[in-house]
Amino acid sequence: MALAFPSDQFDDVVAAVCHGTVTEEEARMLNALLLRDHEARDEYLLRLELHARLASDPDLFPAANKTLPDVVPPRRWPLAFAWGVAAVALITALALVIWWPRTEEPLAAGVVGGAENTSVAMLDLAVDVEWAARDYAMGEPLDPGPLEIREGFVRIVLYSGARIVVKGPAQIHITSQSELSCTYGELTAQVPPQAKGLVLHTPHAAIEDLGTEFGVVVGEDETALHVLEGSVAVTTADESRQRLFQTGAAAIVDATGQMADHPFDRARFQSHFDLESKSADVASHRMEEWRAASDLKQEDPSLLVYFDFESQGESDPWQLRNKGNPPVRGVTHATIVGCESSAGRWPGKGALEFQSVNDRLRFRIPGSYEELTLAAWVCIRGLDRKINSLFMSDGFAAGTTHWLIREDGVLGLTVIGRRPGSYQILATPPEITLEHFGRWLHLAVVLDGEGGHVRHYINGKRVHENPLDIPPPYRIGSAELGNWNADGFGSPSENPALIRNFSGAMDEFFLFSRALNDVEISMLYEEGSPQHLRSTFPTDQGRNPDEPTSP
């Protein structure tokens, strides 16, 4: 039998949950109802939190009445009682903004948002890269699978500790922490002692490291090996021949299985060892491009707030300058509370690190708005709280919003309505996973009051859209980045759910008084991306036509 809402039976089952007398069948029916009916879920959470608050206050009950009866008879919540506690219920339910979990299973170790971490390597560096299939971000974990570049350099660090530098055009396939293959292209491998045993496969040979540094050029008809330091064992693809090569030796293995000595050429791989300086030059160029784009953005009259995290006041180091173009008076600069200065997306770029419950940026935006767009570059260190704040207005005033990440990787925007008890939680499926931790992400959310929806974005791509039931106008008032001021709704020491500080770094923040479209969000991401973004192409059916044909 299904549980209906509203109904007397719903009231009875919720009361049983509160007093610990719910049966297995009742719990199963309630769980099914809560998963399908958001109004029932909101009412359930409100009553549960209200019960917990009342039961935890000894002054509300006679001293003799400290034990609950074994059985709570079925009852309805009296209308007079409901009205009597409406204010308290609103405060507690909104203050928590607790969301029913999407699964009854607890998250396993190594799993965030239901996604297991299967990566075996990371993209450590990318210099002027044109990807063949999709863009990868620096710091991105890499699962076993292919990786293809049309030009530029990438440095991959296998979890074994081996560092692989690949020069495009090239195609490799990562198999595990200690094994990979190269179909065509040029690469070098630096293998520390703890990573000894790395195996590189080409169409012509298997190259096994014995504690070394080597370079390889893979063409259509042959593979050339240059041992830069240490020793390498080479086995032909048909396993008919095997030889050991030492520092300064070089060899060619062809498609017929023939293996021959070859002139050693260390200079050919010099560009592989100049990546740091190349990366610094590219980063400096990207930063100049970003500054030019930012200057243009500041001319947008809808840009209420723009923090570039480089404009701390010279006379007041605790102030972060708002470089927006506000159309209303009273828009303030931000006051820095706590926070530590840290490195941003490029060398020399500033950011702020949020680590403790004290850290926050406070500012005030007066006025009311029909639409809003929020965007930020963030580097997430962890999701330490049930609710992790990105941007939140103080308290729960009508028309305000809370932008956040839930502990299971859900992105959310809570919009507070004008009627008592009215609010809407606009959430995505779990989107932030372990793979996102420790690297720069561009997050954005669009509150489109005119269109009646909310859109969430990650790295310039729309990931979810929710219908919006609460109409404009919307307001901001006093607000915080990276934290939240409960504004009289209780003490965090008494209610941990009121602690919502962000754990990570923030590099840039935009707040527009209009709804940016998909193209504008994508441009905002591309203009601020740490690496230069080029047009991507579908993966070729075969080998890159421009690949080298000989070593």
What whole-number distance in Å separates Cα of residue 309 and Cα of residue 322?
9
47 CB contacts (<8 Å, ≥6 apart)?
14, 18, 77, 89
In three-state secondary structure terms, 185 is strand
Structure token digits, residue 94: 């909104």
- Nearest by Cα to 449 from 522, 513, 403, 509: 513
What whole-number distance in Å separates Cα of residue 453 and Cα of residue 517?
12
450 CB contacts (<8 Å, ≥6 apart)?
370, 371, 472, 515
Judge residue 166's burial from the number of C-beta atoms within 10 Å of its C-beta, 0-12 exposed, 13-18 middle, 19 or more buried. buried
Is the pLDDT reported for residue 316 higher than 80?
no
State the virtual CA torsion across 129, 132, 135, 140 in degrees, nearest 10.
-80
What's the pLDDT band for 173 if we cut at 50, 70, 90? Answer: very high
What whole-number distance in Å separates Cα of residue 153 and Cα of residue 127?
5
| Residue 113 pLDDT | 43
| Residue 434 pLDDT | 84
| Residue 469 pLDDT | 93
Strand partners, 224: 217, 252
| Residue 531 pLDDT | 65
Q: Indicate the pTM of the whole model.
A: 0.64
Average pLDDT over residues 535-545: 32
- Nearest by Cα to 480 from 313, 327, 339, 299: 339
**pLDDT, greater one: 160 or 44:** 160
State the virtual CA torsion across 434, 440, 445, 446 in degrees, nearest 10.
-150
Is the pLDDT reported for residue 419 higher than 60?
yes
Q: Are 369 and 354 in contact (CB under 8 A)?
A: no
Count of alpha carbons within 13 Å of 504, Cβ hemisphere only? 27
Is the pLDDT reported for residue 276 higher than 80?
no
What's the pLDDT band for 281 if we cut at 50, 70, 90? Answer: confident
CA end-to-end span of the chain, whole Å? Answer: 73
In three-state secondary structure terms, 419 is coil
Whether residue 6 has a cis bond before it, omega within 30° of 0? yes
Lowest mean pLDDT across 30-44, 66-80, 491-505: 66-80
Percentage of the chain with pLDDT > 70? 80
Average pLDDT over residues 469-497: 79
Is the pLDDT reported for residue 211 higher than 50?
yes
- Kind of pairing between the strands at 199-201 and 179-190: parallel
Structure token digits, residue 31: 């769980």
Average pLDDT over residues 165-182: 95
Structure token digits, residue 368: 């009311």
Number of H helices, E strands in the chain: 7, 29
What's the pLDDT band for 491 if we cut at 50, 70, 90? Answer: low
From residue 69, alpha-carbon distances to 58, 176, 262, 307 in Å are 17, 59, 89, 57
352-401 pLDDT, tens digit per residue, is 999 988 999 999 999 999 999 999 999 999 998 889 999 999 888 899 99
**pLDDT, greater one: 329 or 91:** 329
60-76 pLDDT, tens digit per residue, is 333 333 332 223 333 33
Task: Round the average pLDDT of the chain to a whole number and report it.
Answer: 80
